[in-house]
Amino acid sequence: MGKMRIRHLYRDRGDHLSFRDVSEYVVDPRDLDEHGNPPPWFATQKKIEAEAGEIEFDHAPTADELKSAFPEFFAREAAKIAEDK
């Protein structure tokens, strides 16, 4: 039997990081027929592609992973904090 895969997609929107997660069913090859098709009772799903500028993680990213993936965003945030002091 297959399993669900959750993809975490982040994008720098200038003043915030946007986030969306996408759940996809990963078909177990043992579930496929001789033509490579899943059984007819499987729900079909539309392939979700990452949009331009999105960075995909296969897990919920840590703060350090986000800082590494979006250095410009966090530099702007640090500058705003310094400006407010």
Residue-range definition of the domain harbouring residue 54: 3-84
Question: Which tens digits make up the pLDDT trace of 22-74?
Answer: 888 777 788 888 888 877 777 677 778 888 999 999 999 999 999 999 999 99
Task: Quote the pLDDT of residue 80.
Answer: 87
Cα-based distances in Å from 47 to 42, 44, 50, 75, 81: 15, 10, 10, 34, 40
Q: What pLDDT, on the 0 to 100 scale, is given for residue 39?
A: 78
Q: pLDDT higher for 84 or 79?
A: 79
**How many domains are contained in the chain?**
1
Residue 18 and residue 20: Cα distance in Å, rounded? 7
Q: pTM score, two decimals?
A: 0.72
Task: List, as own/partner pairs, every contact residues 70-79 make where C-beta atoms lie below 8 angstroms and the sequence separation is at least 24, other chains included.
Answer: 70/10, 70/12, 70/17, 72/12, 73/12, 73/17
Q: What is residue 50's predicted lDDT score, i.e. its pLDDT?
A: 86
Where is pLDDT greater, at 44 or 75? Answer: 75
